[in-house]
Structure 1
Amino acid sequence: MTDSETFRLLGSNGEITLFGVSVQSGNHEDWQFVMGFPRPVKDGDNKEFEKFVDQPGDLWKDIFPRSEPKRFDKPITMQDFSDQARKKIEEILEGPNFHCKTGNYVSIDGDEYFLKIALKEKDMLHSLAERVEARARVKPSAYEKAKVVCPTEHKVGEEFKRYESEHRNLHTKDKQDNCCPAHVLFRKALKDKLEDFEEPNVLRILRRHIINYIQIQELQKAGVVSSFFAVHQWQHLQELHNRGWNNLSRLWSWPKDGTADFIVQYTGVQVAFLFHLYNTFTRWLSGPAVLSTVNFVLRRCPFTSAREMKFVDSAYGAMLCMWTTVFLVRYNQLLNLKTYRWGMEGAEREIVPVRKEFSDEYRGSILDGLQKFAHSLLCLVFIVETIGAAQVISSVSHEAHAHPEESTRGIPNTTVILLAKYAITLNIKVVDLIWTPLSTWLSKKENWRTEPEMKSHMIVKLFAVKFVVFYYPFAHTILIQPYWGKGCDGGEMSGCVSKLRSDLYFFFVCQVLSEAFAVCMTLASVYWSVRSELKSKRAQNHKFTYLELQAKVPEYGEAEQIQDYMQLVLSFGFIAMFGVTCPSMSILCFFVTFPIKRLLAYKISYAHQRVIPRVEEGIGAWRSIMNFIAYIGVTCTCYIVIFVFSIEHMDFASKLLVFILSERALMGLKWVMETFMGTKTVAQLRAEEHNEKVLDKVLNDNDHDKP
């Protein structure tokens, strides 16, 4: 099935074909949030709805903290409680504190009642924005009225140069440009000088206000609400599709610098930061990919001697050390610039809702501590398994190489040598296949108060194990095997290099295929979920709506976001640490980032619920993790060049001295480059300085408004 067959807008009859299923588009464009309430169905299992609610008064108070307490004089069933809660929610949303419009409809099989929510007044949005202290961007025209210049990303001499992009703003349809106006706390008195809120900000403001009056997590914990999600806007998805972001037919489009600027207008900063990293990494990876192509040609050239090839590999390794440094410094600069332009720099941390699984009574208890300790202990178990498996596989492979004419447990040693290479990759993938869902599940079961708190601990535990699981088997081959146990295959260091190179080639191909397969499986699961829904007897002769399809797909939560970041960071680690022994990895990684990135965009757009935006200042812990990998990469590369390639014949003491000096020199050069280049671009510094100088005049000087 082609992309055009999977995804198209039929226009006149208001139907959309998605995943091979025709769905009714309806008037979903008018709504911002949907809340799903389970309801009993005929001939169904309705026991949960017939149960009596335990202490309904306390539950009511937990759900509606700002409303008057409600007294229940007699026992009430879950169905009756749910109906009353839904009516109360509608009353609150339509009341003076919200002025929302609401709508409702029943799902295709009748087992769910959907409440649609939308702000209907701009004045109310302004009141909410002021109440939650949302940040808004100053209009460039406000600078002009104040007779001052609006700063841009480019300044020549004393003049800021303004350039327009080929793309238009998703909401205003104005041409995007390189302006860098300031972001300030929204105030009604300043609304004429501030830009209108874009969709992600409207969703964030409304959601934050809703949870002040309606505790969504308590509704979900009690089973009153089954889902709460932001509504996808099909017209904007169609526009993003036309621009190529989530269009599978444009896999090989070059990642342009301004792409993230229109992604953020729909998804918010969480997804935009991810794709900004992908785009920057892809563009910068083109350098090592070109040099590795030269390396590949020279390696197969009959006129290149083994000694000359070692010089070429060593030069390539030195280039990788410099590349990781310059790439990360430049990426940090570009990230800080995007953070500033998107109004996230210095933004106060958003008040996030408490997780529905959180229990304040359980927090700090002995069981709570034991639960978290057990998770950490399990990390150690998986790490030990990886180290042990690498040692066993290495020993078996070495024995097979030493006696190729014999057999091991009835298997010819020539076959054992081949199986050992597969065994390394198989162990990595199996351990990862078990650890990732297990650790994610354990983190979600732990008593963390908020999603960001859970996310930070989840990242640490996942990466700690993955770092060892993914990298140790290859580090063992080149760092430990030559000096520990039975040495390299063939008795020489070249045997370890050949084995490492072969194992890396095979693993990297499998890793790429497994990433693509995982994304495709997500899309396939959505397809089968929708198909099975349509085949149910209760769904016959009913139209399946686009809103209901969104209720069936999973949310794009913290675990999914971590996994998408993890794949890119792991690829960066392989290039930084082992790229010197396997230069072709850079070529492969460069080319696979194009389809992987497009598949991720497609998945986020169509196979997940819309991301509810939050305030995030950058990519968080991932920045530190990538810096850590880069430093490890410098050490590994220096070791491989001096101890493994061994261009000059030196004794161990001399090699150790040269290694220490070169490693320290590269680390020092890395520090000098980071210090010299700084954390912000000159363009950002100039924009910040200019805004500090003129902002008071732009916002407070009203002389230009007088007749």
Structure 2
Amino acid sequence: MVRELSTSYERLSANSKYDNGVQRLPGPTPLLQMDADSCTMVVIFPRSRRVGGTVDPEELVQEPMKQARRIFLNPDNPLSRRAIRRLQYIGAEPHEPISMELYQQDIRARFLEILEASGVQASQFASLDEDEDFVKLYLPLNGEAIAQLADSLKFEMPFKTTVYEAVAEHGPFLGGEPLKNADGHMVVAHAPFDMHRKNIFQDFSQMDAIQLLQHWFCLWVQLDEMEHQGVIKCSFPCPRASQMRELHETGLHIKNWLNPFFGDLMHPLRAYFGEEITFFFKYGAYLIYSFLPLGAVGFFFTILRVFKIIPDSQIDYVKTGLACGISLWAACISQMFGRHARRTEQLWNVKEHAAFVKNNPDWDKHGRNETCTIFVNVVTVGFVALYIAVATVILVKQYNAAEDTVFAQLSSIVLSLVMKVGSLSWTYLAPVLVKLENHRTQEEMEDKLAVVLAGVKLFVGNFPFFSQCFVTNWVEQTCGPSFQAAAQMVWADYNHTAADNETQKVLRSFAFHKVKEDAVLTCFKGCYPSSWMDAETYTPTNCDVNLRSNLVSFFILQIGVELVFLVFPLLLSLWEVRKEYWKAHRMRDTDSPRQDDSSTDEQEPVPYSFLQWEAKKFPYEFNSWGGDRINDFLDIAVSYSVVACWGAICPLLFFLAVFSWTFSLRLRLYRMLYVARRPVPRASAGLGVWRSIFNAINVFAVGANVGLFTVFFYPMSKYAFGTQLLAFIIAEHAVLLLQAGVHIVIPEQPADVVSIEYYNKHVKYCHQLRELDPSARTSLAHIGLPLTPDGFTSASENECSEGWC
């Protein structure tokens, strides 16, 4: 039912008035001429420099056969060698350099042959400034070509709901209609498409056509490699103005920018971007929902604290309770999302591993030794060690700086900038390291890159806060020959005679004695009251004050950086469009007779091609201005880890997190529509490798929050280290035991998912039996299988016949 609604939605969108004529999208776009009709994908070929393009026809291509193999040869498709054998200019002298003109002519000819074999329709037009050729590829949704492709690729398609009407009630299966899951959605069965029984499958959607064409290309030609070699400028699925408008009105209307609810957005998101990107938004929305109660608590806690409704003596007790609750919440959140994700995966029919994978053109079939992996690990550890050193220096300076100095006032901003610089540096270094390892598929390489990036960036984002909570108090010690001397070293304005007995008693609770070179020294721990004059045992320490400042600075900088990375690429995209306008006007003025100034001024603006506007946007790929899935998940993972682990220190952070994540998710949708080119819709089974990463974050969040209420917060902060350690071990094990209990009591596979899975298997089996019912019959009347064969006499009957009965 959901799939049929999706198909109907796309059909209505395709016939919408917004997909024809001259339109202006809601976002910052020029006047657009809609030209994406009869279009599935677009491939853009640059022209020669002789006609104003970017290809140098005289450039020599070294090792042309090796380069051509990277485009056409697929190790999983033995038939892909056909294109190599048909190379005309490259095959004549495979190891001799040839001109770029002949090389591209050969590659383009083989590409067109592959298109012809797929049955796809194609049309061509020149760009506005005539330096590129746009080739529109079209796979009609009701034609034979798409059915043949789906049949040959064993592409899974959903059953029609009418198929269930022919299923009779049998045993536990009711029949008649599909079952509904706990979310209220009808879940239909999926099966590989078969042309001989295509009447049982739902109609193809534009999403299906794009994915089929992409799977076909993966088997025969690597478009990414063609783009890398300059044969094509880019390729992308055809956009739909009506769907973009729907997404804008649903998710980007002014009234929705601070709305934390995204439920209405998931269906149009999946219809346009596919499951992989939709799962990112789905998990981001789930985190926002989960944090709403914590955000409310943080907001009201801050209000009550500002107006002194909560006494200072009770603040840490409230934080302790909050940390206990967060530790329990972190232990269960993954299980709850996992259950919901199972329903969504079944509804959308996404698998753990994609049926069609994209091979890595840099894969070395001879393999590389383990030295590369060891080198990558050593460099990773070295980068982490360097960051620890830099962050420690800043934290020590922040600890020792006087409150009235410039560094003390800016130290939180400096620390946040160092965290961002360290994170960005690793963003550019990690891909270089991962490429040294020999990954066969793009999926394997992306998963490894995600793990390497996440491991370091999570450490970079959390180490300063971990250090201030659990390391500073025991490492940053200030010692003197007496209590008075040590106190004056800690507080420059300390006056021993002005301090009454109660104040001195409180201050002594932050000090201890240690022996060094036969001398007994009085030392203050690293965390102590910011002011000695109004010190109480429950007074917030300098560590608490610095942590709150650092956490707030981190989130403000996070929002600022995201704004920069959104606005700047948007301006770049508009600038590219404007440059092409100017170039086209210059060409027109050169070719046409001069007109008087008045007629030029009165000339109406020429609509810009919708497909050309889409081409001017940035690709959705790693480290692109258009964004990418890895960095999108990384941003959420880092900010989520900081809030989940350290939010109890500054409860206002929960409210800021809900606000910033809501705003961030809307910004990313805005970027996906108006900055990034439409990416190829890919199916994804939930979070993939990010599920393990977020599970690791939750485990660390349990430990961090247990550490906060057993070590950092008052009153446990006043206990001896041994007592704190014992309390930490007991509390952490209790929470982890509760987490294990939750996993046992509440299974990750919901009961409705299991029931629907068995029911849909039964439906498919019923149709298979109906189709396999043999028409030819034979007579088996000569076969008899009686319990007692004819003429057989038992032993008891023989005894009676002899007169013994």
TM-score, normalising length: structure 1 = 0.85
Match of 2:598 in 1: none
Which of 731, 736, 753 in structure 2 is aligned with 1:667? 736
Distance (whole Å) between structure 2 residues aligned to residue 328 and residue 50 of structure 1: 58
Structure 1 residues 60, 543: CA separation in 2 closer, same or farther (over 3 Å shift)? farther
1:217–1:354 contact (8 Å) kept in structure 2? no
Match of 2:562 in 1: 515
- 1:115 equivalent in alignment to 2:135: yes
1:477–1:500 contact (8 Å) kept in structure 2? yes
1:138 aligned partner, one-letter code: F
> What SS does structure 2 have at the residue aligned with 1:30?
coil
Distance (whole Å) between structure 1 residues aligned to residue 25 and residue 436 of structure 2: 37
Structure 1 residues 83, 104: CA separation in 2 closer, same or farther (over 3 Å shift)? farther
Alignment of 1:203-214 (within 5 A): 203-214=210-221
1:247–1:602 contact (8 Å) kept in structure 2? no
Structure 1 residues 460, 400: CA separation in 2 closer, same or farther (over 3 Å shift)? same
Match of 2:790 in 1: none
> What SS does structure 1 have at the residue aligned with 2:251?
coil
Distance (whole Å) between structure 2 residues aligned to residue 336 and residue 83 of structure 1: 49
Match of 1:388 in 2: 389
2:166–2:176 contact (8 Å) kept in structure 1? no
How many aligned residue pairs are there? 659
Match of 2:150 in 1: 129
1:66–1:213 contact (8 Å) kept in structure 2? no
1:117 is displaced (CA, Å) by 0.9
2:232 aligned partner, one-letter code: V
Which of 392, 408, 418 in structure 1 is aligned with 2:409? 418
Match of 1:159 in 2: none
1:221 is displaced (CA, Å) by 4.6
Structure 1 residues 59, 636: CA separation in 2 closer, same or farther (over 3 Å shift)? closer
1:396 aligned partner, one-letter code: K
Which of 84, 90, 115 in structure 1 is aligned with 2:112? 90
- 1:342 equivalent in alignment to 2:406: no
Distance (whole Å) between structure 2 residues aligned to residue 631 and residue 230 of structure 1: 40
Cα RMSD of the aligned pairs, angstroms, is 3.1
1:277 is displaced (CA, Å) by 0.6
Structure 1 residues 13, 268: CA separation in 2 closer, same or farther (over 3 Å shift)? closer
1:189-217, Cα deviation, whole Å (9 max, x unpaired): 33211212332222111121133333434
- 1:281 equivalent in alignment to 2:287: yes
1:481-538, Cα deviation, whole Å (9 max, x unpaired): 0000334354687221222112111211211222232222232222222223323367
1:435-487, Cα deviation, whole Å (9 max, x unpaired): 22343455467654432122112112211221121110111111100000334
Alignment of 1:512-551 (within 5 A): 512-536=559-583, 540-541=587-588, 544-551=608-615
1:39–1:79 contact (8 Å) kept in structure 2? no
Which of 33, 52, 58 in structure 2 is aligned with 1:25? 33
1:562 is displaced (CA, Å) by 0.8
> Which segment drifts farther, 8-17 or 679-688?
8-17
Distance (whole Å) between structure 1 residues aligned to residue 435 and residue 676 of structure 2: 19
Structure 1 residues 655, 41: CA separation in 2 closer, same or farther (over 3 Å shift)? closer
Alignment of 1:346-385 (within 5 A): 349-356=354-361, 358-360=362-364, 363-364=367-368, 369-370=371-372, 375-385=376-386
1:301-360, Cα deviation, whole Å (9 max, x unpaired): 5353334222211111111112223322111111121111111136x533323344x152
1:556 is displaced (CA, Å) by 1.0
1:119 aligned partner, one-letter code: L
1:397 is displaced (CA, Å) by 2.4
Structure 1 residues 154, 131: CA separation in 2 closer, same or farther (over 3 Å shift)? closer
Structure 1 residue runs of 5 or longer lacking an equivalent are: 1-7, 156-161, 164-177, 405-412
Structure 1 residues 359, 49: CA separation in 2 closer, same or farther (over 3 Å shift)? farther
Match of 1:320 in 2: 326
Match of 2:802 in 1: none
Which of 78, 84, 89 in structure 1 is aligned with 2:100? 78
Match of 1:475 in 2: 466
Structure 1 residues 30, 11: CA separation in 2 closer, same or farther (over 3 Å shift)? closer
Distance (whole Å) between structure 1 residues aligned to residue 454 and residue 181 of structure 2: 38
Which of 485, 488, 501 in structure 1 is aligned with 2:526? 488
> Which segment drifts farther, 526-535 or 123-132?
526-535
1:154 is displaced (CA, Å) by 4.5
2:451–2:693 contact (8 Å) kept in structure 1? no
1:46 is displaced (CA, Å) by 6.8
1:695 is displaced (CA, Å) by 3.3
> Which segment drifts farther, 227-236 or 683-692?
683-692
2:331–2:702 contact (8 Å) kept in structure 1? no
1:277-314, Cα deviation, whole Å (9 max, x unpaired): 11211112111112223322343353533342222111
> Which segment drifts farther, 58-67 or 652-661?
58-67
Distance (whole Å) between structure 1 residues aligned to residue 121 and residue 49 of structure 2: 27
Match of 1:252 in 2: 258
> What SS does structure 1 have at the residue aligned with 2:741?
helix
1:137 is displaced (CA, Å) by 1.2
> What SS does structure 1 have at the residue aligned with 2:247?
helix
Distance (whole Å) between structure 2 residues aligned to residue 46 and residue 287 of structure 1: 56
Match of 1:652 in 2: 721
1:201–1:613 contact (8 Å) kept in structure 2? no
> What SS does structure 1 have at the residue aligned with 2:405?
helix
Distance (whole Å) between structure 2 residues aligned to residue 547 and residue 82 of structure 1: 24
1:600 is displaced (CA, Å) by 0.7
> Which segment drifts farther, 75-84 or 471-480?
75-84
1:293–1:587 contact (8 Å) kept in structure 2? yes
Structure 1 residues 46, 273: CA separation in 2 closer, same or farther (over 3 Å shift)? closer
Match of 1:34 in 2: 42
Distance (whole Å) between structure 2 residues aligned to residue 496 and residue 231 of structure 1: 54
Alignment of 1:395-474 (within 5 A): 395-401=396-402, 413-440=404-431, 443=434, 448-474=439-465
Alignment of 1:230-249 (within 5 A): 230-242=237-249, 244-247=250-253
Which of 553, 563, 566 in structure 1 is aligned with 2:631? 563
2:476–2:526 contact (8 Å) kept in structure 1? no
1:200-247, Cα deviation, whole Å (9 max, x unpaired): 2221111211333334345335432222222112222122223x1354
1:127-173, Cα deviation, whole Å (9 max, x unpaired): 11121121111222211232414344457xxxxxx95xxxxxxxxxx
Which of 121, 145, 150 in structure 2 is aligned with 1:101? 121
- 1:574 equivalent in alignment to 2:647: no
State the identity as a percent: 21
Structure 1 residues 645, 53: CA separation in 2 closer, same or farther (over 3 Å shift)? closer
2:21–2:34 contact (8 Å) kept in structure 1? no
Match of 1:172 in 2: none
Which of 174, 177, 185 in structure 2 is aligned with 1:150? 177
Distance (whole Å) between structure 2 residues aligned to residue 287 and residue 689 of structure 1: 37
Structure with larger Rg: 2
1:569 is displaced (CA, Å) by 1.4
Structure 1 residues 596, 302: CA separation in 2 closer, same or farther (over 3 Å shift)? closer
Which of 185, 188, 193 in structure 1 is aligned with 2:192? 185
1:103–1:115 contact (8 Å) kept in structure 2? yes
2:239 aligned partner, one-letter code: H
1:82-108, Cα deviation, whole Å (9 max, x unpaired): 2344344334423xx322111111222
Distance (whole Å) between structure 1 residues aligned to residue 436 and residue 677 of structure 2: 22
> Which segment drifts farther, 52-61 or 275-284?
52-61
Structure 1 residues 389, 607: CA separation in 2 closer, same or farther (over 3 Å shift)? same
1:398–1:489 contact (8 Å) kept in structure 2? no
2:548 aligned partner, one-letter code: R
Which of 747, 766, 773 in structure 2 is aligned with 1:678? 747
1:378-403, Cα deviation, whole Å (9 max, x unpaired): 433332232112322222223224xx
2:51–2:131 contact (8 Å) kept in structure 1? no
1:543 is displaced (CA, Å) by 6.0
Distance (whole Å) between structure 1 residues aligned to residue 302 and residue 644 of structure 2: 18
1:37–1:225 contact (8 Å) kept in structure 2? yes
- 1:689 equivalent in alignment to 2:758: yes
Structure 1 residues 19, 260: CA separation in 2 closer, same or farther (over 3 Å shift)? closer
Which of 262, 275, 286 in structure 1 is aligned with 2:268? 262
1:530 aligned partner, one-letter code: V
1:26–1:546 contact (8 Å) kept in structure 2? yes
> What SS does structure 2 have at the residue aligned with 1:483?
helix
